[in-house]
Chain A
Amino acid sequence: MSARRSERYIAPNVGWVATTACRTPPLMSAVAPTSFPSAGQFAARAYDISKMYGTALDPVWALANVSVGFERARFTAVMGPSGSGKSTLLQSIAGLDWITSGRIFIGDTEIQQLDPTAMTLLRRERMGFIFQSYNLVPALTAEKNILLPMKLAKRQVDPAVFDEVVSTLGIRDRLSHRPKELSGGQQQRVAVARALVSRPELLFADEPTGNLDSTTAAEILRYLRGAVDQHGQTIVMVTHDPRAAAMADRVVFLADGRIVGDLPDPTVDSILDHMLLARSQPAGTPRPESLPDVAT
């Protein structure tokens, strides 16, 4: 498996350096680059984004000057301890949540420029979402849930794609059931089907396997892996499970709202090593030289 991934992962990391670890107050150092490279191989990019809660006098930084890019047709995992800002990063880049400063691009579109409706249109044209729980509209059957984004976008679903997704995920006999009548794993499969059926360029998953047993979780992750390998979709997944992250092509580590590590071609062992290392460092101390420079 690792070998297969390595084959696909030939190109050296060229282009734009994604991470800065900044310990000065972000607002003061938030000098955005004057010109941005075009999307290139990145499906989504964030430049110097910060997100502040609380008041100006007593700020709480959920994200502090984070810059990161996610390449097309790759599976990136975002890891970090609770409260490290990993979900916030995902939500901000997906345009689900506001940020205090910085710039975010989906492809070549800067999302801060968009009004809510335009943002929604962008989202439904190009993105899919899978959450940890509460993925489905309780009133609708599994089939209706899967087709809902297409209906909202008034797009025709490709029956071939629908068939393929439904059989791959093995939920054909569950289509007429409502979420309440489905097990947690089945619900999550329906959610994956919904995210895949419109073949979005970018798929965001927030702890998609957090509530599932390991067998079911592994299956779900295999489907996501397949989406990247077979259809060239881009996946960004937040997780705290090293086994889940090991399915990815790359792991980005967050702590205290900052990127503290970037691991290509992860394995469960390398992830655990990285996490142990990170834990031994007090928050805010400089990154050890031994960690690879996080670049994409």
Chain B
Amino acid sequence: MFELAIQTIRTNLGRLVATVTAIVVGVAFLSAGLMFTDAIKSSLGGTIEQRYANVEGQVKASEDRSGPPAKIPSTLVATVGAVPGVANAVGELQGNINVFHSGRTKPDSVTGRRWVNEGGVAPLQVVEGSAPAEPGQMTLDRDSAAEFNLSVGDSVRIATAVGEQQVTLVGLTIFGPESAQDGSGTASFVDADAFQFLLAGTKEFDRILLTFDESADPATVLVAVRAVVPQGVVATDRAQFIKDAQGGAAQFATFLQPVLQGFGFLALFVCGFVIANTFAVIVAQRTRELALLRAIGATPRQVRRSLRLEALAIGFVSSLVGLVIGYGLALLTVAILRSFDIKLLGAGARLTPYTALWCVFWGTFITVASVFLASRRAAKVAPVEAMRSSAVERIPKKRSFIWLIVLALGGVLVAVGGFAGNAYLIVPGALLFVFGILFSAPIVLNSLARLLRGLFRRSGLAMRLAGDNIERSPRRAASTANALIIGVLLITLVTTAGGSLRTALVGTVNDLSSSDISVLSDLSGIQPDLVGQIRSVKGVGQLAEVRSLSATVGGTDGQVTSGDVAALRGTVDLKASQGSLDDLGPGTMAIVDFGGGGRNGQAPPALGDQVQINAPSGASASVRVVAVLEFSFDAIFLSNLVDPATFTELAGERPATQLFIKVDGASVSDVTNQIKGLTDSYSSVNVQQGNFVGDILNSVLGWVIAGVNGLLGMSVLIAFIGIVNTMTLSIVERRRELGLLRAVGMMPASVRSMIRGESLIIAMFGTLIGLAGGAFLGFCLTRSLSLANDGTQIGFSFEWGRLAIVAGVGVLVGLLAAAVPARRASRMDVLDALAE
């Protein structure tokens, strides 16, 4: 039986091209997502384990706070180093610097690090030149140096937290088998430079690495370390350190993986339609062969099994090919990301046995499952068919009507859910609705074909025949269209509902920000002379400087900020919901109402409360809450606002970390650009136009919608393959008929337009139903969310432009898909076709 299956596949390869392509694309997509994210997830894991082999724990700032990740004072190294059992305490510091090089006008960003080689901890190795030994010297990872066209001994211009600097490249480094320790590249400096360039002089570390005495028990030592670190600082074990060291990329990949897999499975699901369709056609074409098998002694079970074996073999082989293509696809993704200057640490393709098994299993499973119906039908072929010409496809009308009812029921549920604001009705309703559409498609398509035939009456024989052909095999046409319906419906849903949500969210967010321009930096701050330069830019009206400090406020880790109240009022729209900012003076504080119940189960302070503030340096102050500010995006940066005097008491003299600017008599974007020109030399400073959160949200959501649609486009691609497939198979099947039409005088051009007509009807049917269904679901979903989200009205934005593009693509798919089959049909040899 297996031999028969294999031989049948070998002789019918042409008919299976679409099936194979569909599975290959689906599996490639599924596996590429896995391999790509696996590569990032496991990135550097092994290298970090190896290069930090003797690190047993770390001390770092608690992450349980708002604002940028906090640093810890360098003095803590001595404190934890003195704990019994701790052999060495090594400070690590990293930050962003920009390297200017001849290759580009804009500098390239790399991660600057404090050079670490002490107490047995030496993550980086020098492969050429030497380690940085004194200020003004820098090492760079081997690949970045090559990329920037720099060699040892070169003088390099870099942008740092304190502006542009000139350093000498003294050595090239590697990190185990990798070149750089960080995604964008790694540069290292001696302590003095590191503090200066990365933190503008503040002596702080990101974390302190700990090695323990050999005889000490790590757990016991960690407990001892925890006892000596101040509040807001935590000590963790080695496992947490490794996780932290892998960084955000790994977490991002962990989040991304199920998302990509979801789309992969959607693609495979759509593949299922193509496969089911192909095999339905194949079974119809092979009726006589199958009947012959039955007549000479194959049991129904053997016939069923031979088809499933065929599917198994095709699914398995195609999945393997898909896996290989997927590997390439993952590498291609990396290359594309790189061309957009997005460097992900460890980006690449990593094929685990799990991924291989998982993808091959699903690819094969979907194929075999999709052949289920066709193989059942094949088993039912009566042996007597071997002696008859093939019969006409019958539509089971009753069952189609049941699905029409399901469709209507789903539609009503969704509509009721939408208008009553009940999202719980929408999900089951939408499922019923979609399955109703998919399963009632034959009957709808049948009626449509009849309707179109009326319309086409005047447009010539070819179009009329096209309509007739659809009517003759509505089920096959419908399942071809279904693949397209799924894709278009989801794209429309995401575009309309997503677009509506985006507009609503961005509107809400824009209401929350009020300054024209904000200048942000990390904790290293904005240098005073830079502030001066910005202040003198033409068009800058009011300017408020905000300083911030990581500290413990009322027992909770957080930020303390400070700024001139008058200047703040001039730039930011601050409203106090309780108390007044006028009362802010020495010994008092204003807090922001974030809503909700505070963090760590601790209630936020209330108006009039006395709150204790502890700075990491040990300084402390007790302040009274005199104002509660309403929430806004600007206010987030002004949480725990104290007066400048109190702040200086706690933190000493510090540069501002944020500037709010009100523009006066100039265009905001002009001023923004001018300020950007000034801050280019500072690696740690960012300039944003006032509504930047809204802008970011807008573009992020735009990207998300575009990205999701791009991924959904994969299913449209597979649907396209499906249409080509159906048209090709149907002309192979109708060779005699087409030959006859030609013989009685139909012109090749008419044959072509007949095939095109059929393909267009299928494509337009799929596109229109998908558009209508998606828009309906999107509308109801948006409405229900709008009602559920008390107050905020979410207007439904039907994005005509985009949806017109979708409709255009649908028509194009129909025309393109018909191209090759139509040519084949019109070039067919008449005598040959008739002789069959």
Contacts and interface: CB of A to CB of B under 8 A. Distances in A.
B387 A131 contact: yes
Contact of A123 (B1, B292, B295): B295
Nearest to A180: B11
B10 A91 contact: no
Interface residues of A, number: 30
A148 B382 contact: no
A116 B381 CA distance: 11
B298 interface: yes
Nearest to B300: A116
Contact of B292 (A121, A134, A178): A134
B297 interface: yes
B302 interface: yes
A139 interface: yes
Contact of B3 (A96, A132, A144): A144
Nearest to B5: A139
A136 B298 CA distance: 14
B805 interface: no
A135 interface: yes
B298 to A, nearest CB: 5
A253 interface: no
Interface string B258-296: 000000000000000000000000000000110011111
Given A134-B288, A139-B12, A144-B3, A120 B386 contact: no
A171 B12 CA distance: 26
Contacts of A139: 4, 7-8, 10-12
Given A97-B384, A120-B299, A121-B299, A140 B294 contact: no
Given A144-B7, A148-B4, A152-B302, A120 B297 contact: yes
A124 interface: yes
Contacts of A148: 4, 293, 296
B291 to A, nearest CB: 8
Contacts of A151: 1, 3-4
A116 B301 CA distance: 10
Interface string A92-130: 000011000000000000000000110011011000110
Contact of B293 (A121, A128, A152, A178): A152
Contacts of A116: 299-300
A153 to B, nearest CB: 6
A283 interface: no
B383 interface: yes
A87 interface: yes
Interface in A77-95: 87, 91
A113 B648 CA distance: 101
B168 to A, nearest CB: 73
For the residues of B in contact with A, the DSSP-based class is: helix
Nearest to A98: B382
Contact of A152 (B288, B298, B382, B383): B298
Contact of B387 (A137, A149, A153, A206): A206
A136 B10 CA distance: 16
Contacts, number: 81
Contacts of B301: 117
A129 B295 contact: yes
Contacts of B288: 134
B386 A134 contact: yes
Contacts of B387: 87, 91, 96, 131-132, 206
Interface string A172-203: 00000010000000000000001000000000
Interface in B1-42: 1, 3-4, 7-8, 10-12
A96 B384 contact: yes
A134 B301 CA distance: 22
A206 B294 CA distance: 16
Contacts of A138: 11, 289
Interface in B375-404: 382-384, 386-387
Interface string A256-292: 0000000000000000000000000000000000000
Contacts of B7: 139-140, 144
A137 B289 contact: yes
B418 to A, nearest CB: 48
A144 to B, nearest CB: 7
Contacts of A117: 299-301
A81 to B, nearest CB: 18
A124 B383 contact: no
Interface in B697-730: none
A121 B387 CA distance: 20
B300 A131 contact: no
A165 B372 CA distance: 39
Nearest to B301: A117
Nearest to B386: A131
Contacts of B382: 96-97
Contacts of A129: 295-296
A130 to B, nearest CB: 10
A120 B298 contact: yes
Interface string B609-648: 0000000000000000000000000000000000000000
Nearest to A125: B297
A120 B292 contact: no
**Most chain A beta carbons < 10 A, residue from B4, B10, B299, B302:** B299
Interface in A47-92: 87, 91
A128 B297 CA distance: 9
A23 B112 CA distance: 105
B11 A152 contact: no
Chain A CB count within 10 A is highest, among B7, B295, B300, B383, for: B295
B775 to A, nearest CB: 46
Contacts of B8: 137, 139
A132 B292 CA distance: 12
B11 A124 contact: no
B296 A194 contact: yes
A120 B12 contact: no
Interface in B299-327: 299-302
A136 B288 CA distance: 10
A186 B209 CA distance: 85
18 contacts: A96-B387, A97-B384, A116-B299, A117-B299, A120-B297, A121-B299, A123-B295, A123-B296, A123-B297, A124-B297, A124-B298, A129-B295, A131-B386, A137-B289, A137-B292, A144-B3, A151-B4, A194-B296
Q: Which 10 A-B pairs have the closest CB atoms?
A: A124-B297, A97-B384, A139-B11, A139-B7, A139-B8, A96-B384, A96-B383, A120-B299, A149-B297, A149-B296
Interface of B: 1, 3-4, 7-8, 10-12, 288-289, 292-302, 382-384, 386-387
Given A87-B387, A131-B387, A136-B292, 12 more contacts: A91-B384, A96-B295, A97-B383, A116-B299, A116-B300, A117-B299, A124-B296, A132-B387, A137-B4, A139-B8, A148-B4, A152-B297
